[in-house]
Amino acid sequence: MRNAITCLLFMLTAGAGPVERQKSVPIEGTWRAVLTSPGGELPFGLRIARRGTLLDAVIVNGAEEAPVSGVSSDGSTVTIRFDWYDSAITATLSPDGNSMTGAWTRTGPSGVSHIPFHATRGFQARFLPTAAAKIDASATPLTDVTGIWKTEFVDSTGRSPARGEFHQDRGSTRVVGTFLTPTGDDRYLEGSYERGVLRLSTFDGAHAFLFQARGSSEGRLSGDYWSRDSYHATWSASRVDDREATLPDGWKDVGLKNNAGHFGFRFSDLHGNSVALSDPRFRGKVVLVNLFGSWCPNCNDEAPLLAALDRKYRAQGLEIVGLAYEFTGDAARDREMVRRFAKRHDIRYPLLLAGLSDKAKASATLPDLTGVLAFPTSVFIGRDGKVKKIYSGFSGPGTGHHYVELHHEIESLIESLLHS
C-alpha cells in the first residue's frame, strides 16, 4: 500500500495528471494578424521580439512600425497592450505556438468595441489571394492603381471629399498609400490590387481601417470603407492629375468671430489648476494653442512635431498649450488618458482638459472660433496677443511630401512670429 501511495505521489509531483503545467512556448517572430471586421478580414503585420527579459512588439503597416505599450505571455495567454488608447489584444496561444485566437477591445465614444482576432506565425502576404468566385468575369479592370485619385465618401451624414494617393510596386500586386481628407489623413495603408480588386488596411491599436474597391476599365474605383466594428461608408474615385484632386485649404477653414484677433480660453490642467490665455506666463509670448484628443490618429502623428518645436523654441519665447477633447466626460479617466498621451510623446508643455470630442460641443467651449471642424486644430497667436493664423487638421508622416511641406510651413510661421 505504501509503495502504491509513493508511486502516485511521484507521478503527481513529476507533472503527470491534473497538475501538469503548460510548457512555455516562445511567441517571438513575425505574425500575420487579422481582425474580423464587418467588411471581412482586416490584416496587419505583427512582430514580437525579446528585449532582455521583456517582450516587445510593433504593428507593421507598410513603412510604419507602430509601437505597443506592452506584451506578456504565460505560455497560453498572450496580451498585447496599447495603454495610450485604452485598448488591448488578448488571445489564446495554440499548443504548438503557431497561432493565436482572441479579440481586440477598445473604449470608444459609443462604448467598448470588440473585434475577433487571430494570427498565424510566419511571413505571409497581407491579403491572401483573391478568390476567383468574387470576381466579375465580365469586367475589364484597371491594370494598376498607381496615381492620384479624386475620391468621395458617402455615409448616413452625407458626402465628403478625399484625395487618394497610391503606389503599386512594378510587377507586383502590393499597394501602399493613403487618403488625405479636409480633416487629416488615414495614415499608412497597405494592401494589394489583383484581379480587379483593391484591398487596403491599417491598424495601430486604436484605428482599424479596411478599404475595398473594384477597378473598372473606365478608370474608376468604387467600394466600401469600414472602421472598427461599427462605421461603414461607400466610396468612389477617379484617377486625375494633381490639380483636379485639391482639398479645402486647412489655413482657411476656420476663422474668428471678431475682427480684433481676440481669442481666449480657461480650462483646468491635469492637476486641477485653472489656466487661461490671459495668464502672465503667456503675455508677450508667441502662443500655439493646439486642440487635440488622445484618441485621435492625426493628433498622435502631430504630437512629436509639437514636442520638438517646444524644445527648440521655448527659450526664444514660444509657449504651446494643448486643449484636450476626450471621449467619456469622466474627468478622472480622461485625465489619465491625456497623461498617457503626454508620456508617450514626451510632452512638457501644459495640457488642459477642455471637454468632449464631439465637434459641436467643442465649438461651444471656444466661442471666438467660427467652429471646430477637425482634431487637431492649431491656433497661432502673436506676441501682441492676437490670432495670426489657424490651421485645421494635420497631414501626418503617412502622407509623404505633404507632411514635410506642412512641417516646414508651421515652423516657418513660428519663426516669423518669434522675430516680429
Residue with cell 496580451: 79
Q: What pLDDT digit, counting tens, does each position of 92-101 carry?
A: 999 999 999 9
Q: Which has the minimum average pLDDT: 27-31, 60-64, 67-71, 326-330?
A: 326-330
Specify whether 274 is located in the same domain as 238: no
* pLDDT, average across residues 248-258: 96
Q: At 129, give phi and psi (nearest 5°).
A: -50, 140
| pLDDT for the residue 9 | 37
Question: Rounded to a whole number, what is the largest CA-CA distance in the chain?
Answer: 99
Q: At 401, give phi and psi (nearest 5°).
A: -65, -25
Residue 152 forms part of a structural domain? yes
Confidence of residue 55 (pLDDT cuts 50, 70, 90): very high
Residue of higher predicted confidence among 378 and 420: 378
Specify whether 280 is located in the same domain as 390: yes
Specify whether 270 is located in the same domain as 409: yes
Specify whether 302 is located in the same domain as 394: yes
Specify whether 411 is located in the same domain as 276: yes
| pLDDT for the residue 139 | 56
Give me the number of domains the chain comprises.
3
Quote the mean pLDDT of the chain: 91
Query: Which residues does 237 contact at the CB level (< 8 Å), separation at least 6?
Result: 149, 150, 151, 152, 164, 213, 220, 221, 222
Residue 141: pLDDT over 80: no
The H or E element spanning position 180 is: strand 174-181
Specify whether 272 is located in the same domain as 194: no
Residue of higher predicted confidence among 49 and 142: 49
- Structural domain including 227 reads 141-245
The CATH number for 81's domain is 2.40.128.120
Specify whether 81 is located in the same domain as 215: no
Residue 18 forms part of a structural domain? no
Specify whether 405 is located in the same domain as 361: yes
Residue 185: pLDDT over 70: yes
Residue where a domain stops, chosen among 213, 245, 277: 245
Residue 134 forms part of a structural domain? no
| pLDDT for the residue 13 | 40
Specify whether 154 is located in the same domain as 206: yes
DSSP secondary structure, 288-299, as one string = EEEEE-TT-HHH
Residue 1 forms part of a structural domain? no
* pLDDT, average across residues 245-273: 96
Q: Which of 383, 386, 318, 326 is nearest to 351 (CA)?
A: 326
CA 44 to chain centre: 13
| pLDDT for the residue 18 | 40
Distance CA 224, CA 237 (A): 11
Assign residue 349 a region: left if phi > 0, alpha if psi is -120 to 50, beta otherwise?
A: beta
Residue 4: pLDDT over 50: no
Q: How far is CA 59 from CA 62, 151, 236, in A?
A: 10, 27, 28
Q: Which of 307, 322, 222, 309 is nearest to 265 (CA)?
A: 322
The CATH number for 359's domain is 3.40.30.10
Q: Which of 237, 239, 135, 150 is nearest to 196 (CA)?
A: 135
Residue 131: pLDDT over 80: no
What predicted TM-score, i.e. pTM, was given to this entire model? 0.90
Residue 329 forms part of a structural domain? yes
Residue 129 forms part of a structural domain? no
* pLDDT, average across residues 314-318: 98
| pLDDT for the residue 405 | 98
Specify whether 159 is located in the same domain as 279: no
Distance CA 189, CA 170 (A): 18
Residue of higher predicted confidence among 104 and 216: 104
| pLDDT for the residue 133 | 39
Q: What pLDDT digit, counting tens, does each position of 142-158 carry?
A: 899 999 999 999 999 99
Residue 357 forms part of a structural domain? yes
Specify whether 237 is located in the same domain as 368: no
Specify whether 277 is located in the same domain as 395: yes
Neighbours of 269 (CB within 10 A): 15
